[in-house]
Amino acid sequence: MKIKERLTERVAACLLCFGATAVVCADAASTGDTAVTKVTAKDVSKYTAAQLNADMGLGLAANEGFDTAQARSAKDRGLNTVKVSADWSEHVSADGEYTIDADWLAGLKKTVDAAVSQDMYIILEAESKSDDGRSAVWEQLAENFAKYDRKLIFAGDLTEPVTAENDTSGKNNTSDKTEKKSVIQTIRSVKGNEHRVLLLNSADWYDVAADADMMVSVSGESLDVTGTAFTEEDTDMIKTQLGRYELDWLDAGIPVVISGASESSFAKADENVKWAESFGTLAKQLGVPAVFENIGGKYDKAAVKLIDTYKNGTVTGTVLESFDAEKGTKVVNSGYVDLKLKSGGKITYDLTMEELFGDADAEKVTAVRFTGSCGFRLGSEKGKDSLKRVLTADELKGDSIKITSESSWGRVYYEVLAADKVLEPYTKYLQFTEPDENGKCYARAVMMVKEEDVEDAVSVKFTFDLSGQSASVSSGKFYRAVSQQGEIIDPDDGYVFVAAVISGIPEEAAEDLTITDIELV
């Protein structure tokens, strides 16, 4: 579990979406039988599910009948997503074919087009009171919305229970409602929906074959705040729940949508504003969109604060605490343990140092990072369970470390950290020789680094970049002084120079040559 890599990917997805360029396309009226394929102002045809997710922002839930005026009002306030809930139970034929009523379907398309006209994301949540007919209905919906672009996301009843008729497992257990047959294959088989993004409920995720065009919907109800005033404990509760989403889904590379969230309802408006600022900051920090079942109007202080805070917040990709011991490190071993019930009624695991370190050189280990959405404690720690802990090498004592949780089941991941030998240049010089008869020259790179950083190094590897092409050169020489344009330059106290030469640089491209990093070998 390489946390830093995933955080980088998550933040990059957000930055890409924020920097997208708008283009002029067809209006909502063109989504009928003669539709063009592009129906929104922003071209998202090449966006991955993660990039779409990063662009969705805050949204509101709407029913059939949501019109253009309502969509414009929502968009003007800063909302970028609409979840359209559509119950088709009473709008299909009773002959077993489940043919959708044409008038109802036309009304549904009109509702979707209202959001399309404002360049909003649409989550079309089609559900029924019955388990029957889901595949047939979704096939028709997929056909009718095939020409809508990737801003239209399907959600709702995307799985169906196994019955004797559709069971392919050979078990024929018609009462087992936990087994489900996916209707996703039906949607994917309809032209224009091969890569339609689907939003699955978290409970259904592991019952289907997940693919790269899926997101997971997590409940916002667990983020509800009660009481008479908003407190620091409430902020901790929100942070903890978002942290669980981060560890369970985002760290696995699965985009998350918080669905069914609600504004706080404290009697005092100022307390609701505090909640809005806290939730908006943390949700944006994590980089996840949230759809609200109810959200106040433009005169609601909390709603205004929520939207403004989210809009102007910064995506870091995590809500978990950062520790100094993590900085400047790389993962040299990783794994996980499943906690087991022991005497005393608590689940626990004794992780041996041998198991923890694996093949890593224990002498070079600087810290160990533990994460687990179940919540856990290490050793004899007291107080509340944590989602993340980092122990320094000095704190790793004894032959093993006990991991305990108050949960009924839990998995805790560990990552063994060692110092990353990629060095930041303190001073950089880049010299070029005169070009030869072929118009090529040599470049000499000189950097000043801390002597203590390089004292154990065999050599130093420089990585150069020239117009997008990368090359590496290693040098085993360290200098107490260098000559720069005829002048002898001494390093600062406690520093030395390292240098390397790269040849064959075209004269006209010399100014584009850069040094991207320096690494101990």
383-397 residue pLDDT tens:
899 999 999 999 999
Look at the chain and report how many structural domains it folds into: 3
Percentage with pLDDT > 90 across the chain: 54
Domain boundary (277, 312, 347) is at 312
Q: Which amino acid is at 290?
A: A
Residue 318 falls inside a structural domain: no
Please check whether residue 433 is in contact with residue 394, taking contact to mean a CB–CB distance below 8 angstroms: no
The predicted-structure confidence for 200-213, as pLDDT tens digits, reads as follows: 999 888 888 888 99
The reply to whether 382 and 435 lie within a common domain is no
- The rounded mean pLDDT for the chain is 84
Domain that holds residue 445: 422-520
CATH label of the domain that carries residue 499: 2.60.40
Residue 147 falls inside a structural domain: yes
The reply to whether 338 and 296 lie within a common domain is no
Rounded to 5°, angle at Cα 127 from 123 and 131 = 145
pLDDT (average), residues 197-224: 90
Please check whether residue 391 is in contact with residue 368, taking contact to mean a CB–CB distance below 8 angstroms: yes
Distance of CA 183 to the CA centre of its chain: 26
The reported pLDDT for the residue numbered 187 is 95
The reply to whether 494 and 352 lie within a common domain is no
Distance of CA 137 to the CA centre of its chain: 31
Number of Cβ within 10 Å of residue 9's Cβ equals 14
> Which residues, in sequence order, are CB contacts of 391 under 8 Å at separation 6+?
325, 367, 368, 370, 378, 401
Q: Please classify residue 23 by burial: count the beta carbons closer than 10 Å to its beta carbon, then call 0-12 exposed, 13-18 middle and 19+ buried.
A: exposed
Predicted confidence band at 262 (pLDDT cuts at 50, 70, 90)? confident
Residue 319 falls inside a structural domain: no
Measuring CA to CA, which residue among 483, 494, 507, 485 is closest to residue 449? Answer: 494
Residue 200 falls inside a structural domain: yes
Predicted confidence band at 494 (pLDDT cuts at 50, 70, 90)? confident
CATH label of the domain that carries residue 253: 3.20.20.80
The reply to whether 135 and 204 lie within a common domain is yes
The reply to whether 49 and 9 lie within a common domain is yes
Lowest mean pLDDT among 112-126, 325-339, 414-428: 414-428
Question: How is residue 241 written in tokens?
Answer: 């729940």
The reported pLDDT for the residue numbered 178 is 33
The reply to whether 412 and 434 lie within a common domain is no
Residue 195: is its pLDDT beyond 70? yes
Lowest mean pLDDT among 13-17, 172-176, 357-361, 491-495: 172-176
Residue 161: is its pLDDT beyond 80? no
Q: Which amino acid is at 266?
A: F
The reply to whether 64 and 169 lie within a common domain is yes
Domain boundary (419, 442, 476) is at 419
Domain boundary (419, 441, 463) is at 419
The predicted-structure confidence for 426-457, as pLDDT tens digits, reads as follows: 556 677 778 888 888 887 777 777 787 777 77
The reported pLDDT for the residue numbered 29 is 41
> What is the residue whose two structure tokens read 């047939």?
136
